[in-house]
Amino acid sequence: MTHPCRKNDKSVSLRDCLVAIVVLTVWFARKETHVPRLTAVRKQALDQMMKKAIFEAAVAVLTEHGVEGLTMDRVALAANMAKGSLYRYFSSKKDLVEFVYANVIDPIHQDLREIVATGQPAIEKLAVHLHKVLEHVAKHVRVFELLFHDDMAQGLLRSSQRRIHEAGCQLLAEVFRQGVSEGVFRPADPLVLARIFLGVCMGVFDGQPELQGREQRESVQRLIMGTFLHGVAAKQGQVG
């Protein structure tokens, strides 16, 4: 006759084994799921670091040598990486210039998204946006001068510049849509108003105004805001 305690011990041991098998199965399943995910996260982080290094190197080369002197060899050397590694990310000079352009414009768009989400009146949003744009351009004035006024850069950027410009107009149109609703802007297509405002900005920037000093930036801001909101007439009512 089997002792009842031994029978009980045997059943407990078998149950523990089954539990252990289930736990190990789940653990291995999770491990197999997480390893590729962790690898993908590490790869993404590495790619971001590499692109940041490439951007900084490209800006340094642009500042020293201009667009014509922006070569893959110089950027690879400045980024302290093999030329083959650079080609893994950018296959041509055109791709590299477009990457730099997108990276100097993206902070402007990001700031605008945050401004649009605030509860400020439309005209205040417009003024804050323009202030931030002028601050950003002043910090990267040499790069902006090259990308916007160099003939070679304009040729390389023609398609991407048009696409990014339109994306900015779409964002800015939200401010004008709010302004039309508030009654501070005339009832017109918000996208058209956004394009007109950006046209005034680009017209002023084409003159390459001095932006390094705060007073100079404030003067440019007053010129743009005043021209857009009140026109070019010296006094109201003098428009024919």
Nearest-angstrom CA–CA distance, 51 and 56: 9
Same domain, 87 and 105: no
pTM, two decimals, is: 0.75
Same domain, 22 and 51: yes
Residue with tokens 């407990």: 12
pLDDT in tens, the chain (240 residues): 444 444 444 444 555 554 555 555 555 555 554 545 657 777 778 878 889 999 999 999 999 999 999 999 999 999 999 999 899 999 999 999 999 999 999 999 999 999 999 999 999 999 999 999 999 999 888 888 888 888 888 888 888 888 888 999 999 999 999 999 999 999 999 999 999 999 999 888 888 788 888 899 999 999 999 999 988 777 655 544
Same domain, 142 and 178: yes
pLDDT of residue 4: 46
Same domain, 59 and 136: no
Same domain, 75 and 147: no
Same domain, 163 and 224: yes
Containing structural domain, residue 49:
1-91
pLDDT of residue 1: 46
Which of the listed residues 39, 65, 91 is the one where a domain comes to its end?
91
Same domain, 44 and 145: no
Which of the listed residues 91, 121, 140 is the one where a domain comes to its end?
91
pLDDT of residue 157: 87
Question: Which residues have C-beta within 8 Å of that of residue 223, sequence separation ≥ 6?
Answer: 204
CATH of the domain at 180: 1.10.357.10
Q: CB atoms < 10 A from the CB of 150, how many?
A: 17
Same domain, 115 and 178: yes
Largest CA distance in the chain: 117
Same domain, 165 and 215: yes
Name residue 200's amino acid: V
User: How many secondary structure helices (H) and strands (E) does the chain include?
Assistant: 9, 0
